[in-house]
Amino acid sequence: MQGEQRVGTAVPVLLPREVRKRLIRTVSSLKSEVREVLRAQIVLAAADGQTNGAIARELGVSVNTVRKWRSRFAFGGLEGLRDARRPGRPRVYGPHVRVAIVAMATSMPPYPEATWSHRSIAEGVAGSCFAPISASQVGRILANLDLKPHKVRGWLTRRATPDFWARAAAVCALYRDPPEAAVVLSIDEKTAIAARSRRYPGRPAAPAQVVRQEFEYRRHGTVSLVAALDVTSGEVLFEVITRNDAVTFTAFLDQLDRAIAPDREIHVVLDNGSSHTAKHTRAWLAEHPRWHVRWTPPHASWLNQIELFFSALARRVLRHGDFASRDDLIDKLQSYVIRHNTTAKPYRWTYEGIPLKTA
């Protein structure tokens, strides 16, 4: 099993029959650790006369790795394939403590808490008859395992709507190929827009310094609005509202109906909000036959183009805005819409409303 190593020559490996059988069992066993399998494969290949370079290419490791375990086996046998003892203080917390931490971090937290903290996990482990452990040590163990039980990412389980894709495709077809001489509108409300003023003025950007904004603010009420986007021109008409109900909504539709030439058909995209689906609204639509509605599927309001305008409004005016009063907020909303309409362009809609293909 041992051999004399010469400069530039791989260490020869000789395998007794029983040792070879044991290494083969290690490679074929599903319970073997990955590192044990790799070392056994290196020794078996070396015993078959393969060079270090050939073994490294076949197993996808470095030549130094092959050389290390080939030499360790040649001069130490099976014991040479074991991990060497590490220097420094031995581990205080064994595998059973780590398993308990992982089990707790991947379970639901105790009532009434909604998420785990490192401290609550440490207390739970200590209460399971294990040795006391600090919250910081729990954090280090979880970080090594890439476990973050304190973080939550939300998602929405879309309702199983049989005609989801048919309705989505109908909305997208209206955007991509609007009827000739017809008006295509996208309508929705944006409610509870907060009018807030910062307690202290912000600081403008400077070299190596981003804009700074005071955290504290004063509240001055909220503003709600209903808006209609002309899909073919990109222009927007909006109105401030005090109630978000069907009566208010149909009153807005009445304004649009009077403003649009009576000989033109009107196609409108609406989501499934309560003011849009109420009996009062449906009765109004039935009394106005030139209005044709495309309803977005449930949980698909992103198909409503007016949301693109609302997103731009939030980024440019609302998110970091400073509003001295409710009237100041309304004035800035109106100013933004007026400026938007002077250079309005239609959104370039490319989605066809069909499931995206995956590779």
* Residue ranges per structural domain of the chain: 17-81, 95-144, 164-342
Spell out the residues 6+ positions from residue 11 whose beta carbon is closer than 8 angstroms to its own. 3, 5, 46, 67, 70, 71, 74, 75
User: If you average pLDDT over residues 90-114, what whole number do you get?
Assistant: 84
pLDDT, tens digit (0-9, with 9 covering 90-100), for 171-217: 999 999 999 999 999 999 999 999 999 998 888 898 988 989 888 99
pLDDT, tens digit (0-9, with 9 covering 90-100), for 50-68: 999 999 999 999 999 999 9
Do the bridges between strand 236-241 and strand 291-295 make them parallel or antiparallel, or are there none, so unpaired?
unpaired
Choose the most confident range, by mean pLDDT, from 13-17, 18-22, 251-255. 251-255
Q: Which of 183, 135, 158 has the alpha carbon at shortest distance from 297?
A: 158
- Which pair of tokens denotes residue 292? 């044709």
Choose the most confident range, by mean pLDDT, from 3-17, 79-93, 204-218. 204-218
Q: Which H/E stretch holds residue 309?
A: helix 306-313
Q: How far apart are CA 187 and CA 226, in angstroms?
A: 7
pLDDT, tens digit (0-9, with 9 covering 90-100), for 113-169: 899 999 999 988 887 767 788 999 999 989 988 899 888 888 777 778 889 999 999
pLDDT at site 150: 85
Position 358 confidence tier, pLDDT thresholds 50, 70, 90:
very low
Would you tell me which CATH number, out of the four given (2.30.30.100, 1.10.1280.10, 1.25.40.10, 3.30.420.10), belongs to the domain 164-342?
Answer: 3.30.420.10
